Amino acid sequence: MNIKSIFVIKNQILENCKANFEDYIIFQEQAFDRVFVFSLGYQDFQQID
């Protein structure tokens, strides 16, 4: 299986996604191409490269 991206759902509103970057760096270290982070309560999502 070749996973190109992972979607991380936070069940709380993120005040600042960059402040939570450390929570998702592990996914990039595991060779995911990109990480999408979005919060329930926000209609948009933010891509972290």
**pLDDT tens-digit profile, the chain (49 residues):** 344 445 554 444 344 444 455 555 444 444 445 555 554 444 455 555 5
Tell me what pLDDT residue 35 has: 54
Whole-model pTM over 0.75: no
Domain ranges (residues) in the chain: 5-48
Tell me what pLDDT residue 47 has: 55
Tell me what pLDDT residue 36 has: 57
CA atoms within 13 A on the CB side of 39: 9
Other CB atoms within 10 Å distance of the CB of residue 8: 15
